[in-house]
């Protein structure tokens, strides 16, 4: 485990996002009726806003708002419906100066409108593979960009979960995504990389990708990891419901920190803030 590098990621209309001194916690806000992790309890915009504000109080450093479920097998959502769900939430939470807001979308139209209403980061689960116009929107708005490793859309992603060397292939495909972004005019300094735990990966693939974050670190961009409540954890703990995977999530979050992640994306912010603080202290004592 090598020392984590430090970065300053530029954000539109806000100070740069400083990464490396400590691990940042990103709170997940799913404005969907079919979220695998929270059962759609934040489908009501007012509930989503209230929960987002509570996450800030609980110590979240960033908030990630999404309107389309990306669980395996999920159906695509029309952009107009996604906009209807997320824009009121993004606009209200982005008005709070304490934390930047990220829009979790792969659609250019949704990203453009969300950034216009204050989102500072675009979190793309497609790695710029799903909408050819998204990279240009990010370049034009100067939003930061999270590029997640994935293969295929939600309905067919597991068919693509075939690897000879998970760490090397994930890193190589993320490098290709970075090239797509920079070719469209996105500043390399604005890019954050995500190994895509659980996306187009069997459980063993996700564990290996997590354990080998050094392969992504070699690309010299900050790393975001999202292990929270995901199904790959069941291989270790048995067939528990998502809400019963918080202890397993805590273990995975700790591993993410120790292996070099700069940001962890989680559902249970209050508990995971404490987990991250202890893991950071362990890492700094090495």
In the chain, where are the structural domains located? 7-284
CB within 8 A of 209, min separation 6: which ones?
149, 166, 167, 170, 195, 196, 197, 201
Phi first, then psi, for residue 207 (nearest 5°) are -60, -40
Respond yes or no: is residue 230 known to be catalytic: yes
Instruction: Give the residue among 136, 127, 131 at the shortest CA–CA distance from 183.
Output: 136
pLDDT of residue 38: 54
pLDDT greater at residue 158 or residue 38? 158
- What is the pLDDT at residue 18? 98
How far apart CA 71 and CA 91 sit, in angstroms, is 25
Q: Pick the more confident residue, 32 or 150.
A: 150
Q: pLDDT category, 160, cuts 50, 70, 90?
A: confident
Is 265 known to be catalytic? Answer: yes
Average pLDDT, the chain: 94
- CA-CA distance, 19 to 261, in Å (whole number)? 10
Rounded to whole angstroms, the Cα distance separating 61 from 100 reads 8
Q: What is the pTM of this model?
A: 0.95
Residue at token pair 């479920």: 69
| Residues 249-265, mean pLDDT to the nearest whole number | 98
- What gap in Å lies between CA 93 and CA 95, rounded to an integer? 5
Weakest mean pLDDT among 81-95, 147-161, 196-210, 270-284: 147-161
**Of 230, 240, 245, 286, which residue is the catalytic one?**
230
Q: How far apart are the two ends of the chain, measured CA to CA in Å?
A: 9
Q: Does the 7-284 domain belong in CATH 3.40.50.620?
A: no
Is the sign of the CA dihedral 57, 59, 61, 65 positive or negative?
negative
CA–CA separation, 28 and 123 (whole Å): 12
Q: What is the mean pLDDT of residues 21-35?
A: 90
Q: With a cut of 70, say whether residue 73 has pLDDT above it.
A: no
Q: Is 70:96 a contact under the CB 8 Å cutoff?
A: no
Average pLDDT over residues 75-90: 93
Residue 23 phi/psi, 5-degree rounding, is -80, 130
Write out the H or E segment, with its range, that includes residue 27: strand 24-30
CA distances (Å), 167 to each of 163, 171, 172, in order? 9, 6, 8
Nearest 5°: the CA angle 97, 102, 74 is: 150
Cross-strand partners of 8: 18
pLDDT digits (tens, 9 = 90+) for 106-146: 999 999 999 999 999 999 999 999 999 999 999 999 999 99
Residue-level pLDDT at 36? 53
- Please say if the pLDDT value at position 2 is more than 70: no
Continuous H helices in 158-268: 166-183, 203-211, 213-217, 234-237, 246-258
State the pLDDT at residue 82: 95
pLDDT-based confidence at residue 232 (cuts at 50, 70, 90): very high
């Amino acid at each position: 485990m090598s020392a984590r590098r430090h970065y300053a990621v530029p954000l539109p209309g806000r100070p740069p996002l400083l990464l490396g001194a400590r691990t940042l916690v990103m709170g997940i806000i799913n404005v969907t009726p079919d979220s695998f992790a929270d059962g759609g309890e934040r489908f009501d915009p007012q509930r989503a806003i209230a929960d987002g504000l509570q996450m800030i109080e609980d110590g979240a450093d960033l908030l990630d708002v999404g309107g389309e479920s990306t669980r395996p097998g999920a159906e695509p959502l029309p952009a107009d419906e996604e906009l209807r769900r997320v824009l009121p939430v993004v606009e209200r939470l982005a008005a709070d100066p304490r934390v930047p807001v990220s829009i979790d979308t792969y659609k250019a139209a949704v990203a453009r409108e969300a950034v216009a209403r204050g989102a500072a980061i675009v979190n793309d689960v497609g790695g710029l593979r799903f909408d050819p116009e998204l990279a240009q929107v990010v370049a034009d708005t100067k939003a930061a960009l999270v590029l997640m490793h994935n293969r295929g859309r939600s309905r067919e992603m597991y068919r693509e979960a075939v690897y000879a060397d998970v760490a090397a292939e994930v890193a190589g495909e993320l490098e290709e995504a970075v090239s797509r972004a920079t070719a469209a005019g996105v500043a390399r300094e604005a890019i954050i990389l995500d190994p895509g735990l659980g996306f187009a990966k069997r459980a063993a693939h996700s564990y290996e990708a997590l354990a080998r974050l050094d392969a992504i670190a070699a690309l010299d961009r900050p790393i975001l990891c999202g292990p929270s409540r995901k199904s790959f954890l069941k291989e270790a703990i048995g067939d528990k419901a998502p809400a019963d995977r918080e202890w397993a999530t805590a273990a995975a979050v700790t591993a993410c920190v120790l292996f070099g992640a700069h940001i962890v994306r989680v559902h249970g912010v209050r508990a995971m803030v404490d987990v991250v603080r202890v893991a950071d202290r362990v890492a700094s004592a090495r």
